[in-house]
Amino acid sequence: MVKTSSPFGSKTRSAVLVALRLLGDSYARELSRVLEVRVSGVQQALQGLEEDGLVVAREHGRTKLYRIDPEYFAFAELQRYLLRLAEPERVLRRRIESRRREPRRTGKRA
């Protein structure tokens, strides 16, 4: 998780944005797993980021997928900044590289 600063209001908000930059789009449970943060904390961060116009959500079945809003006025600059913040986050990048990309269907065995 972003260790050195919280440029977006909290460490969780900053970490969620960095993870979304690396993932492209994601859902709360996946973000919770790669960031090792409680789902409720991720959901709260996503809600605030959506209210602030930094992320947008869309429905994918029963799952809400989030991504950085490409309509954000400083989208390109934000993307570059988040990529810089991700540089020292080797553990986070490794977790993201090994993650499962689709949410499991309800009732599906592990």
**How distant, in Å, are the alpha carbons of 29, 57, 62 from that of 65?**
10, 5, 10
* pLDDT score at 7: 86
72 pLDDT more than 80:
yes
What tokens does 74 get? 């400083």
Q: What is the pLDDT of residues 3-45, one digit of tens each?
A: 555 889 899 999 999 999 999 999 999 999 999 999 999 999 9
Domain ranges of the chain: 11-96
Domain 11-96 in CATH 1.10.10.10:
yes
* pLDDT score at 33: 94
* pLDDT score at 106: 67
Instruction: Report helix angle 11-23 to 39-51, nearest 10.
Output: 80
